[in-house]
Amino acid sequence: MGALLEVRNLKYRTEEGKEILKGVNLDVKEGEIHVLLGPNGAGKSTLANLIAGAGGYEEPTEGEIIFDGKVINGKPLYERAKMGLTIAFQEPARFEGITVEEYLKLSARNNPDADIEECLRKVGLDPCHYLHRFVDDSLSGGERKRIELASIMCMKPKLAVLDEIDSGIDFVSIDEIGNLFKTMRDEGTTLLVITHRENIANIADRASLLCDGQIVETGDPRKIIKKFEKECLVCEVQNPSLVKEVKVQNN
């Protein structure tokens, strides 16, 4: 299948002149789970925000983002969402006075077929206990992330960018989340998944490695994981503290 998302030579420089993305090229094919790996600070969240048009990252410094055949540079977040492109943030916001049910209904506004309770069940939350709770500070980090995942399922977008949605969720349920990603894919949502977890990366159809603001390789997830472990985790540019630690241990 063709690319649903094409990122062409994307550059992003902050106002202070710091270059965060240095010419990213990335294709996400329709119907795939594409995992984006990379060390802390590589620019994964910046890339995710640029793709979604969030966090003040509507316009890249250079380059093009093409979604569903259209250049979307400069389009506001909600317009991209209406086109079928959404993002789950690394830290989704919390809301006073809004119930889980209302939140999921808002998410399902353009998907009348959504079964809210079923979406909750799929993320491992019992609707009886959660529908009427508020999406506020009373939820644990893991619960909030699960609700975000349920909201994406309710929305059923063409492409969902998931920025570390698995962090904060118990380790035992990671396999469960991998299966969920597969279900979402099979139901028609293409996924770009940012993660640090190998077992999530393992279920991907393809993976890319982002390092120092550039995609260094795209391909078979197992190969990319190996490269990530072998090269990135010991790279002095991206992980000076870790390298130092390793060196001390080796000595």
Partner 1 sequence: MKLNLDSRILQGIDFLHKVGVNIQPQDLAFFVDKNEILHKKPLQGIKSEVIPTEFGIKMRTVIEPGVKIDYPVALCFGNISHGGEHINEQELIVGEGAEVKIYTFALIGPGQTLHRKDLVTVRIGKNAKVELYDIHYHDRSADINFYAELNAYLDEGAYFYNLLKVTDQKSGKFRTKFYGEVGPRAVAVVEAKMKATEGDDVVVEDIMKLVGEEARGLSKSRIIALDGAKAEFIGEAYGEAPNSRCHIDCAEVVKGENVVLKNIPVLVSTNETAKLTHEASIGKIDKKQLETLMAKGLTEDEATEVVVQGMLR
Among 46, 195, 238, 239, binds ligand ATP (CB under 6 A): 46
Residues 6+ apart with CB under 8 A from 100: 120, 130, 131, 132, 133, 134, 135, 147
Q: How far is residue 187's CA from residue 123's CA, in Å, rounded to a whole number?
A: 15
Q: How far is residue 38's CA from residue 21's CA, in Å, rounded to a whole number?
A: 13
What does 54 interact with, of Mg ion, partner 1, ligand ATP, none (CB < 5 to 8 A by kind)? partner 1
Cβ atoms within 10 Å, residue 167: 15
Among 1, 18, 70, 251, binds ligand ATP (CB under 6 A): 18
Q: Site residues for Mg ion, window 31-50 (CB under 5 A)?
A: 44-45
What does 46 interact with, of ligand ATP, partner 1, Mg ion, none (CB < 5 to 8 A by kind)? ligand ATP
Pair type for strands 3-13 and 62-67: antiparallel
54 part of the interface to partner 1, by CB under 8 A: yes
Q: Are 94 and 139 in contact (CB under 8 A)?
A: yes
Among 5, 7, 20, 204, binds ligand ATP (CB under 6 A): 20
Q: Using alpha carbons, list the distances in angstroms from residue 33 to 4, 231, 238.
A: 12, 23, 26
* Tokens encoding 165: 């949605």
Among 5, 28, 34, 38, binds ligand ATP (CB under 6 A): 38
Site string for partner 1, 92-131 (x = CB under 8 A): xxxxxxx-------xx-xx---------------------
Q: In the complex with ligand ATP, which residue's Cβ is closer, 20 or 184? A: 20
Q: In the complex with Mg ion, which residue's Cβ is closer, 57 or 130? A: 57
Q: How far is residue 176's CA from residue 171's CA, in Å, rounded to a whole number?
A: 10
24 part of the interface to ligand ATP, by CB under 6 A: no
Q: Where does this chain bind ligand ATP (CB under 6 A)?
A: 14, 18, 20, 38, 40-46
